[in-house]
Amino acid sequence: MNGRVRKGDHLSKAPLCRLTPKGALLSNSYEQTSDLELARQARAEDESAFAEIVRRYSPRVFHVAHRFFRDRGQAEEAAQETFLKAFAQLKSFAGRGSMEGWLTRIATNTCLNMLRSASRRPELITPDLTEDETDWLEKVSDSSERLDAEQQVIAADLAERLLETLPAEDRLALMMIDGEGASVNEVAAATGWSESKVKVRAFRARKKAREALEKLIGKKYRA
Amino acid sequence: MPEGHITEILDNTPFIALTQSELSAIREHTSSCSECANAFQAAQISSVLLKERISEAATSAANANPFFQTRVLAAWREQQEQASAWSFRRLWNTTGAIVASMAATTAALAALTFVVPVTDTNNQQTAANQQAAALLPYSAETVVLEQDQGDNQLTNDQVINAIYVDDDEGR
């Protein structure tokens, strides 16, 4: 070899890169970068570092967003808002805790705020139930069989309608503790609430959900 | 285990976290209390509903929009542009008065430096011409061409002066 650089050499030796819609290069070399370093670079308005944070933690943020919102559009909006808020608050991330925990907290509070601003808490009453939902309630009350795909969708619909009757905070506590099996500590860490507040919220939500369903079942049996 | 109704247990503990001893006590109580049987069934249904809702949320989260990252970055860029425009406006609001007064001063200085001297030079030139004309009242041509009218060139003052000078010398 004569040591001269041939046309195209730089392409084969360059790290794997991809282009953003604006044409900026996003280098995959960021995959090995620590969260703290990414935060530092993103703070200096390095778009690639911020993109890597979004790529790395999108699944987690989406998980939190879908806990609150069934609608895909709303969940995406909440997730986007979370990342933009996170960028604005990057100074507060000192690396003492994990970035995942830090983002989870921002996502949770963002979703809570969005849900609060909607502030729609209709009461769940029997005439509002669809025929499918009434049938589902009868079946699930009478048997403990596994639900098929169609029944799962009906159950998720009914669950959403039940959760809509609860305040945003109560809903979150119920979803995390009773739905996901999270501990009181975990909910406290994700929300920044005290443990006693978490317990009170969960108790209230559980009671309200139980009473709402009790009414539905009672009316069903009376009818 | 309280002697009364079991609703307190149901509200204090997640349904999935009820222990075997709690469940057997609940079953024992609900066999003789229809109200609590209804409450127990409601708690059970609530648990099933939540489980299905969580399961659906997990599936939706796994099938996230592949263009989400692009969307977030576009929003981020837009926010950055707005922030920089806003910071320029804030800077202008703070220093605008000073900058405007500095610009006015510069304009005034420029006017004084370039416009006024030109006018001055014109005025100076006119004055110099007039002075020269005063020193040389007759051009060579005038002298040559108007030789015959030599007497007429004397002013009245000169004539009077000439007469009175003669008179003074006579005394």
B25-48 in b/e burial notation, b at 16+ Cβ within 10 A?
A: bbeebbeeeeebbbbbbbbbbbbb
Contact A84 B75 (CB under 8 A): yes
Q: What is the pLDDT of residue A102?
A: 94
Which one has a higher pLDDT value, B170 or A210? A210
Q: How far apart are CA B30 and CA B41, in angstroms?
A: 10
**B10: pLDDT strictly greater than 50:** yes
**Nearest-by-CA chain B residue for A149:** B52
List chain B residues with CB under 8 Å of A62: 60-61, 64, 68
CA distance B88 to chain A (A): 18
- The residues facing A27 across adjacent strands are A17
Q: How far apart are CA B78 and CA A58, in angstroms?
A: 20
- Chain B, residues 131-160, CB within 8 A of chain A, namely none
Segment B98-120 mean pLDDT: 83
List chain A residues with CB under 8 Å of B14: 177-178, 181, 202, 206
Contact B61 A54 (CB under 8 A): no
Q: Among candidates A93, A80, A111, which has minimal Cα distance to A175?
A: A111
Per the structure block, which two tokens stand in for A179? 């739905």
Task: State the pLDDT confidence band at A75, using cuts at 50, 70 and 90.
Answer: very high
CA distance B11 to chain A (A): 5
Surface-to-core class of residue A179, CB atoms within 10 Å of its CB (0-12 exposed, 13-18 middle, 19+ buried): buried
Q: How far apart are CA A122 and CA A162, in angstroms?
A: 9
Contact B75 A177 (CB under 8 A): no
Per residue in A136-193, pLDDT (tens digit) is: 877 776 666 677 888 888 888 899 989 988 999 999 999 999 999 999 999 999 999 9
Residue A206 maps to which CATH number?
1.10.10.10
**A1: pLDDT strictly greater than 70:** no
Residue B74 identity: A
Our count of domains for chain A comes to 1
- Chain B, residues 9-68, CB within 8 A of chain A, namely 10-12, 14-17, 38-39, 41-43, 45-58, 60-62, 64-65, 68
State the CB neighbour count (10 A cutoff) for residue A210.
Answer: 24
**A14: pLDDT strictly greater than 80:** no
Q: What is the pLDDT of residue A5?
A: 41
Contact A178 B56 (CB under 8 A): no
CA distance B63 to chain A (A): 9
Interchain CB contacts (distance < 8 Å): A and B: 143
Q: What is the pLDDT of residue A45?
A: 85
Instruction: Select from B12, B39, B52 the Cβ nearest to the Cβ of A156.
Output: B52
Contact A171, B57 (CB under 8 A): no
Q: Among candidates A107, A101, A95, which has minimal Cα distance to A66?
A: A107
Contact A192, A109 (CB under 8 A): yes
CB-based contact, B118 to chain A, within 8 Å:
no
Q: Among candidates A203, A111, A35, which has minimal Cα distance to B10?
A: A203
- pTM here? 0.66
CA distance A182 to chain B (A): 10
Task: State the pLDDT confidence band at B113, using cuts at 50, 70 and 90.
Answer: confident
Contact B30, B36 (CB under 8 A): yes
Q: How far apart are CA A162 and CA A166, in angstroms?
A: 7
Q: Is A175 left (phi over 0), alpha (psi -120 to 50) or beta?
A: alpha
Indicate the domain borders of chain B: 129-162
- Concatenate the DSSP letters of all residues of A107-143 into one string: HHHHHHHHHHHH-------GGGS-HHHHHHHHHHHH-
Per residue in A102-116, pLDDT (tens digit) is: 999 999 999 999 988
Give residues with Cβ within 8 angstroms of A43, minimum separation 6: A90, A91
Query: What residues make up the domain containing A212?
Result: 121-223
Q: CA torsion angle for B7, B11, B15, B19 (degrees, to 10)?
A: -70
Per residue in B38-92, pLDDT (tens digit) is: 899 999 999 999 999 999 999 998 888 889 999 999 999 998 888 776 666 777 7
Per residue in B125-156, pLDDT (tens digit) is: 777 777 766 665 556 566 566 665 555 566 77
Contact B50 A174 (CB under 8 A): yes
User: Angle at CA A135, nearest 5°, toward A178 and A210?
Assistant: 30
Q: What is the pLDDT of residue B65?
A: 86
Which one has a higher pLDDT value, B162 or B21? B21
